A and B are shown apart, each in its own frame.
With several copies, the nearest count.
Chain A
Amino acid sequence: MSKVVVLGAGISGHTAALYLKKGLGKNHEVIVVSPNSNYQWVPSNIWVGVGLMEPNQVKFKLEPVYRRKGIVFKQALAKAIRPEGDSTSEKGFVEIEYVDEARRGQTEKVDYDFLVNATGPTLNFKATPGLGPDLYSNSVCTYDHAWHAWQNLKVAFEKMEAGVHQTFLIGTGHAMATCQGAAFEYALNIAFEVNKRGLHKFADIIWISNEYELGDFGMGGAYVKRGGYVTPTKVFTESILAEYGIRWIKRAGVYKVEPGKAYYELLDGTYHEQTFDFSMLIPGFAGAQIKAFNKKGEDITSTVFAANGMMKVDADYTPKPYEQWKSSDWPEIYQSPAYDNLYASGIAFAPPHGMSKPMESPNGTKIFPTPPRTGMPSGVIGKVVAQNVIHRIKTGRKDHPHKASMVRMGAACIVSAGYGFTKGQAATMTVSPIVPDWEKYPKYGRDIDKTVGVIGLAGHWMKLFMHYMFLYKAKAKFGWSLIPE
């Protein structure tokens, strides 16, 4: 009997766990360790943040699903990995600390044959003084944050209804934050709600981003076909913002937030302030800050993890300038080079470098987005890691027949604004591959025939459809594995 431990129950970890159990059956054990008792469909948090959905509509309890499927669930935080075991144990194990009410504070050693690290991001609000829902800005990164943001947004709407002008500042709250897509979607949804209420005369909505040009989205931008032209996402994105009446500040690294005021540095080295009545600023992401120790108890964290706490995998981490970035730098199987039964999936793996060109202000501040790895690729990577682990357990072989490189994977991004069968509208964009490959596609870095850039009702329906479909899949209901990631 093999024992597979999955750290994290986000899109990537949850997907991995479900596939592992399905593939391994009753003879093997699958354990999920996650501090959150709920699964949440993160993309729909945007709707929570504008009051169109309740948190209950985007989350569900994990325990009943895992019980039904025969997966062991431990509501706990992973504190350290000991891949070589310790003096008393030959087997690798994870040190966890329970966070559920019954066992809060209890620690446990969970040994494993295979470990999948899918811990997702740590929302690094602390990297920007004053940032975050506990301080002076809002967030939509979790359903809690989103619900909290909606409470504050409601107040802003009430003020506008009373004739008080409000400034909304939405975007990235750190010079190297990523996940522009989510923040962008939130800005559009606020604009839609403002317009729906006829309050646009009282609203000034500002998009602030660390992107060099809009539409970079941490992917180095992309090209889509639109109206007979291959159009950079810059033009596509600016068009959408202009349509919704949103101003923008680009190349901006927010470095401090005070009540009602954000401070930022531009790529040209100048410093500015922007006042606001409501702000939603995405924090920087870090890894889960898990420690690692070898058999002797020596700290090998820097061997297993990169400096930002994300786990090193089969990527080429040699530092090289932008011009020398290659598609072969990117990992395919997400296996730790240090320990062959250790995998990292989703945001937990350390990318070899960004996709956006690194930019630095004259003051030495790096202002550019780090690479996003949300939604679709996270799910796919989780599945592929699971498939390889299943293969290894079942055959005893060490090869990895399943591969999922972000240099070959495509992804769709649906940015929806508004809600309802006839009122909603979304921009649907696809890119393939996710990471631009200028060697294979010298013209546009990606396969231009596999791009879509369409705005309309259909995209909104798809977003709604995906909401229900992926929650259905995540609940592991009948036929779940037939739904693609």
Chain B
Amino acid sequence: MASIHERLKNEPYSEYSFATRPTNATLFWRRCIIKQIYLFFALNLKIMRIVVGGHS
């Protein structure tokens, strides 16, 4: 996914040069199976609570 960077190189001050981008560590954790399995359950639980809590 290097295309944006190739273009950014020639376009500082463009609107998307001011976007934040994930660090390599962040990219690693997004693909780390262990952490993601934990997140899968944690997020499901959290979403369930948020959604079920909102109506009666």
Contact = CB atoms under 8 A, between A and B. Distances in A.
Interface in A438-485: 438, 442-443, 445, 450, 452, 454-459, 461-462, 465, 484-485
Contacts of A228: 22-23, 25-26, 29
Contacts of A410: 50-51, 53-54
A235 B13 contact: no
A461 B36 contact: yes
Contact of B54 (A191, A323, A357, A380): A380
Nearest to B9: A442
Contacts of B3: 195, 200-201, 203, 245
A359 B46 CA distance: 34
B9 A443 contact: yes
A93 to B, nearest CB: 30
Contacts of B16: 238, 241-242, 247-248
B4 to A, nearest CB: 4
Given A234-B18, A410-B54, A436-B12, A430 B31 contact: no
Given A228-B22, A454-B43, A200 B51 contact: no
Contacts of B50: 410-412, 430, 432, 450
A300 interface: no
Interface in B11-56: 12-13, 15-23, 25-26, 29-31, 33, 35-37, 39-40, 43-44, 46-48, 50-56
A225 B20 CA distance: 9
B22 A456 contact: no
B35 to A, nearest CB: 8
Interface residues on B, range: 35 or more
A245 B5 CA distance: 8
A456 B1 contact: no
Main secondary structure on B side of the interface with A: helix
A232 B10 CA distance: 16
Contacts of A352: none
Contact of A484 (B4, B30, B48): B48
B4 A230 contact: no
6 contacts: A191-B1, A235-B19, A383-B55, A401-B56, A409-B55, A454-B43
The 9 closest A-B pairs by CB, nearest first: A242-B19, A410-B50, A409-B54, A458-B39, A245-B4, A404-B55, A456-B30, A245-B3, A200-B3
A248 B23 CA distance: 22
Interface in A39-74: none
B51 A376 contact: yes
Contacts of A221: 12, 18
A232 B19 CA distance: 7
Given A238-B20, A401-B56, A433-B54, 9 more contacts: A203-B3, A220-B12, A228-B23, A229-B26, A230-B23, A243-B4, A376-B51, A422-B33, A432-B54
Tell me which of B2, B31, B50 has the highest count of chain A C-beta atoms within 10 A of its own C-beta.
B50
A408 B44 contact: no
Interface string A411-438: 1100000000010010010101100101
B42 to A, nearest CB: 8
A425 B55 contact: no
A459 B36 CA distance: 8
A243 B22 contact: yes
A326 B33 CA distance: 43
B46 A438 contact: no
Given A229-B22, A384-B55, A357 B9 contact: no
Contacts of B7: 245, 247
A191 B50 CA distance: 31
A303 interface: no
Contact of A241 (B10, B19, B25, B44): B19
A195 B16 CA distance: 19
A400 B22 CA distance: 42
